Amino acid sequence: MRWIGCALCGVALLGTSLRIEAQQAPAGKSSPVMVTTGSPTKAGKASVASKAAPEVAAPAAKQGPLLPDAFAGWVAIKKPKIVSDAAELDNANVAALKEYGCSSGMVANYKRADETLTVKALSFGDVSGAYGAYSFYRQNGWPKAEIGTGGASDKNHVLFWKGSTVVDAVFSHVGPMSAGELRELAKNLPTPGGNRALNPPIIAALPQASMDRQTMHFAQGPAGYAGAGGVLPSELVGFDKDAEAVTANYSLSSGPAVLTLIDYPTPQIAEAQEKRVREYLKAGSGARPPFTKALQDSDQASLEVIRSGPLVAMVSGDAIPDESHKLLAQVHYSAELTSMPQPQESEIAKTSRFLMGVAALVIVGCSGAILLGLFLGGGRALYRLARGKPISSVYEAEFIRLHLED
């Protein structure tokens, strides 16, 4: 009977330890809580309320070179050259490329029969940088081309982007299959993962009605903003305060309008910048720095600026004030709930959990031992009572007989 009690006690202790280990196993995981953040926020950057939340990017898959030795009948005259200096890719716009995060690229010259093709592939740190550079190089009025994620063309000059890569191609002669040939090239371009694959969220704040998407320009610095025809002077935007800007043209019934959105890290910075821009527009011809050409060509009565959260929006152009105001009214910063992982447990909390587990193990073990003692002792007493013997054998006298007889 004793070995049965020991076995049951061991099973109880083992089950208790497994339960405690199972409770402690997820202790290292952070429990998400819901916090209010804003949309849009900068791609690759945390919003004001969620800057403490670590973001994990998916591991990048192994990719081949940006430009192959041959594709769609085109054969490289020389092996495609890897370029690690942005100045070698485009010396005239090297400042803008660095703002967008251009890290490297490749250049190649291809030949097929008597035709030639010059291709330049620029690699960026994320999708936001690639789209910004694409919008920087693409001129307003270029027809849309269905290549990669987005493309445009100007006769024999074709520009498109996919993932974190921008491709600039110049044909000696454009044929009906030229777009299809570049689509074949786009298939092998790398696609980033994780946060690097996020589009600039500020673009989602642009009103979609009456907008010409081929005129949208995204800037992450003064060189890119000014080079893409920004309406405000670059020093007034506040790129030194980690701002991002996007502009787009709208075809309103009373005339064309240009909407400028500037996204700042916090609403407080946006409030200060809105006041600065408003005072600048009121100064008119006496403003310093002087008005840009875009502001000079605008109807001064239609110039208007508002703020919504960390966004500052300004409208310019020739539309009547009523339509300009309606366009601005469509810009709205909406808060959304985002899961933010909590910090890991401290060493004190881990120690307290361990001690509580040990105490629970001791209590369960002692309780099990007492219950087993009552069960086994009571069972033996009932068994003796059923056989007509006293409950306890303490008073029984047992003798050994040797039967020593003659």
Dist CA 307 CA 279 (whole Å): 14
Place of tokens 């039967």: 403
Kindly report the average pLDDT of the chain as a whole number: 83
Mean pLDDT value of segment 106-134: 96
Mean pLDDT value of segment 25-35: 41
Dist CA 117 CA 109 (whole Å): 6
Percent of the chain at pLDDT > 70 equals 78
Cβ atoms within 10 Å of 214's Cβ, excluding its own: 17
Q: Is the pLDDT of residue 116 over 60?
A: yes
Q: Which of 205, 283, 211, 303 is nearest to 245 (CA)?
A: 205
Dist CA 332 CA 312 (whole Å): 10
Place of tokens 């041959």: 70
102, with CB counted inside 10 A (0-12, 13-18, 19+), is buried
Which tokens hold the place of 52?
């403490």
Q: Is the pLDDT of residue 405 over 50?
A: yes
159 CB contacts (<8 Å, ≥6 apart)? 134, 137, 138, 142, 151, 152, 153, 166, 167, 168, 169
Cβ–Cβ under 8 Å, residues 233 and 287 = no
125 CB contacts (<8 Å, ≥6 apart)? 44, 101, 103, 164, 196
Dist CA 146 CA 152 (whole Å): 8
Alpha-carbon dihedral sign for residues 48, 44, 183, 246: positive
Q: Which of 25, 27, 16 is nearest to 362 (CA)?
A: 16
**pLDDT for position 344:** 65
Partner residues linked to 121 by β-bridges:
106, 167
Which tokens hold the place of 119?
């291709």
Whether the full predicted model's pTM is greater than 0.75, yes or no, is no
pLDDT tens profile 147-204: 999 999 999 999 999 999 999 999 999 999 999 999 999 999 998 988 899 999 899 9
